[in-house]
Amino acid sequence: MKLVRGAWKILVGIKDFLVLVFMLLFFTMLFVALSAKPNPGAIRDGALLVSLDGALVEQPEEADPFAKLTGGDVAKQQRLRDVLRALDAAKTDDHVKAVVLDLDRFMGGYPAAISQVAEAVGKVRASGKPVLAYATAYTDDSYALAANASEVWVNPLGGTMFAGPGGTRLFYKGLLDKLGVNAHIYRVGKFKSAVEPYMRSDMSPEAKEAELAIYQPIFQQWQQEIAKARPKARIADYLAKPAEVITAAKGDIAKTNLALGIVDKLGDRMAFGKRVAEIAGVASGKPVGNFNRIKLADFVAAHPMPTGGDAIGVITVAGEIVDGKAGPGHAGGDTISAQLLKGLATKNLKALVVRVDSPGGSALASEQIRQAVLQAKAKGLPVVVSMGSLAASGGYWVSTAGDTIFAEPNTITGSIGIFGVIPTFEKTLAKIGVGADGVKTTPLSGQPDVFGGTNAETDALLQSAIEAGYARFIGLVAGARKMTPEKVNEIAQGRVWIGGTAHQIGLVDRFGGVDDAIAEAARRAKLDPAKVHAVYLEKEPSGWARLIESFADDSNDEGDWADEPAGADMFARVAIEQRALFAQALGDATRLARGGSVQARCLECGALGPATGSIEDRTLFDAIAARLGL
């Protein structure tokens, strides 16, 4: 009996200990979360620190909050509209003595987003406030921002490397053949190259033609924007003969950049920090190289969006369009339509802006979102579409519901076409001696048969369905753009266009950003654009999600500037891109295995985006790498 009572006391003690540990952990995490919460009252005179760590996106994804705890990578994403709002407010805020662009860990964004931020940086400089940019190594995207700064600094051991759009893509036909996987492709559109990785070992001539048609003007726009922002930068030879120029300088990239006027100063983080301190003041109690700084999150919180006047709803369709529900950064058909319908019922909206920043995805989910947008029209609300960096394929499908469409000159749009892929494994099974057979009562019994393969009847049926879906897509565009189906078919075929060309051929109406679209929506609702405010119809992260995210966040905004993690040099950036490429391959494999609904998705779009790839693909890669001990 004494043994039982002793065991019971031990169990009770263990229970009490675990409860205590849990309580301590909970309150520690609560303290961390409250400490990390943006504090508008913390704004003091100093330099606004815009640390663009990670990728610049329309709507950040929810990263795996436990990735950091398990040794994985917690990828960061910066919300475009927050950065733009902060830069706009910095022009007139007396607390801001300078703006610092920390681009050391910036992984880029799509061309339209980069151009918007670059323009905003230029406006801060034009207002008379100093803008100082720093990076260990500049790439195309980071330099597009830095070129608009008053002073461009680079680490003496770093430099610039401008590659231009383009690069390698993975093709899996040879691997699928070796594995015996039979990818059945159903598509319409000779330029619809999203399925080519599963049916070819290289790019088709049509795909190359289509990509060059968007890459070349985007690169030309990049060069024009650099020349306008920084006319003294002599980058022509550097772009045409980079190896020759650097070799002549005995491999000193940074010194060459300085001589060509591409950068203004060479220095490490400490030297840069001392320079900023001359303008913004020396941070008291901090080591040399620190300066008075204003955290971006605090500054954004101190400058909230207007709330006066009538409400213009803004529904964001960002990321891949998928069936069902999805978190931020993915456009779930159920999620987006529910958010929109709820907003229409409860927010007393006077007009609607549909902000599209998506390469497309599920045709079914795209139609579901379009139908929800049409409910706004049914209530008599004007509907204006604002295209961000991407509004291609399914993204354009959704856009057909708008009364008018705004885009940026380098928005990627079009890709009007659909496809479907069904993998079957009859050859794979045969390789290991497994057969498949059964009794069928109709030509479609057991079809599509992933074990025995599809038959001619099924293939004809599915191809016919894809062609009917394409005809519906063409009809939607024709009706929305006041064109004949024949005319739409000429500019469709899955071909991708940039905003400038899309405007010329009638796929978009006007150039401008989301603010221009909101103003137009107000005018269409017979309201004064100066007396309305935007209501973003999106779910805020839960308190628990914020708590976990803040606990996992290792940002060092309150630490020493000179001691913050160094940015990636050229070799490190290659490693990051290789990691993203492998992660993409794993993601492509899982997407093929999952199958899914008919797709209206743009493949070319991803090549112009951040080098990090999607968070979902990287999370899968991290899990497998951890399992293999890599």
The question of whether 204 is a catalytic residue gets the answer no
User: CA 534, 538, 542, 546: dihedral to nearest 10 degrees?
Assistant: -70
Distance CA 491, CA 414 (A): 8
| Nearest residue to 259 (alpha-carbon basis) of 269, 267, 249, 251 | 249
* 461, amino acid identity: L
Query: Kind and range of the H or E element at 353?
Result: strand 349-358
Q: Contact, 351 vs 313, CB < 8 A? A: yes
- Separation of alpha carbons 59 and 586, rounded Å: 24
Supply angle C-alpha 37, 43, 48, rounded to 5. 95
Burial 221-245 (b: 16+ CB within 10 A, else e): bbeebbeebbeebebeebeeebeeb
Select which of 51, 393, 550, 614 is catalytic.
393
CA dist 84 and 382 (Å) reads: 26
Q: In which element (H, E) is residue 221 found?
A: helix 205-229
431 is catalytic: no
CA distance 602 to 495: 9
CA-CA distance, 97 to 129, in Å (whole number)? 7
Structure tokens that stand for 487 in this block: 């005319």
What type of residue sits at position 484?
A: T
Structure tokens belonging to residue 9: 């006391």
What one-letter code names the amino acid at 356? V
Per the residue annotation, which of 76, 97, 129, 192 is the catalytic one? Answer: 192
CB atoms under 10 Å from CB of 307, counted, come to 9
At 518 the three-state DSSP class reads: helix
Query: Which residue type occupies 586?
Result: L
Integer Cα distance of 508 and 399 in angstroms: 10
CA distance 419 to 346: 37
In SS3 terms, 538-592 reads as CCCCCHHHHHHHHHHCCCCCCCCHHHCCCCCCHHHHHHHHHHHHHHHHHHHHHHH
Q: Are 480 and 397 in contact (CB under 8 A)?
A: no
539, 338 contact by CB (below 8 A): no
d(CA 279, CA 121): 18
Tell me the torsion sign for CA atoms 264, 265, 269, 272.
negative
List active site positions.
192, 393
